Amino acid sequence: MSKIPNTRPGDLSSTKDIFVSAVRFAVSIEGPCLPFGDELRISAQEQIDFMLGEDGDTTIIVADSEVQSAVTMGVYNIIHSFETDLCSLLLDTSLEPEGVYNRIMKRVSDLEWMCNVLPKMELMKNFVSNWAAISSKILGIIEDRKLDHIMWGLKVKLIEVACKVLEAVGYGSVILPAPCRVQLLKTWFPYVRKMKPLLDSKAVEEIGFPYKMNEDLCQAIEGAIVSLVLTLPSNDQADILADWIRSREIGYPDLSEAFEVWCYRTKSAKRRLVESLDGHSDTAVSP
């Protein structure tokens, strides 16, 4: 699919039609379209990247209800298709493992692409909400004993997608209710904390082991988790930080900054409470 030139300001309708068509191909969950294979889907994703980055009219039409509906449906389809494929790893022993793995990795590639384009359309909340809803199920599958020593590439990719979600929530571009934020953090924080030393040890044991959490990913996740912790109610912060302190020998992620801020806020709140109580007491006894 070739990249189209910028349209005239008055030609928004054709721009919208092209964009919606590209979205539907980009998030297609059907099999490869013969004779193009996956090239059509990939080209559609590249077309959307181009239009969001270069075409001024696109910034106008992304607010259109038809465009948003197509994107929202695409997000739902891809995430739940990924969930279904992931479930097949455990439920259907007749499937060829390599074929299932390749299909899942293709879905993960689509998820990564969505994480890059949805913020440009201000639709990341839809992705985050769907991802949060299935996160426990995802980890329930990927942490099954059957998959203990395989699919390291998938496990790292899941952390990368989770990082995008944690960043969106932690830095405030997506607003979720406090219980959802707590659940999201309590789901992914232990997994990240477990996987980092495990991947590091695999890299030591096996020369050339390719699946690692690189420095950029580690810093991004740590920063997102610290920011997310600080958005939580004080009691939830205390629970998470207490758990982190009990497991500090692991060393990653480092929540020292969040702990220091929590201590400062707690002391300040206690001081303000005492001052307020003292003020009321003085008023009560004054003639």
Mean pLDDT across the chain, nearest whole number? 85
Across the strands, what pairs with 33?
37
- Give the whole-angstrom CA distance, residue 41 versus residue 73: 16
Provide CB contacts within 8 A for 223, sequence distance 6+: 167, 170
How high is the pLDDT of residue 1?
A: 42
Task: Give ∠ CA 134-136-137 in degrees, rounded to 5.
Answer: 65
Query: What's the confidence (pLDDT) of residue 275?
Result: 62
* Average pLDDT value for residue range 66-76: 92
Across 51-79, average pLDDT: 86
Q: Which helix (H) or strand (E) holds 215?
A: helix 215-230
Its pTM stands at 0.86
**DSSP assignment, residue 177?**
-
Alpha-carbon 156 to chain mean position = 13
Q: Give the pair of three-digit tokens for residue 2.
A: 């070739």
The band of 92, judged by pLDDT with boundaries at 50, 70 and 90, is low
Encoded tokens for 17:
């039609």
pLDDT-wise least confident of 114-118, 272-276, 281-285: 281-285
- Give residue 62's pLDDT: 86
pLDDT digits (tens, 9 = 90+) for 206-230: 988 999 999 999 999 999 999 999 9
Q: Is the pLDDT of residue 243 over 80?
A: yes
Taking 70 as the threshold, does the pLDDT of residue 276 lie above it?
no
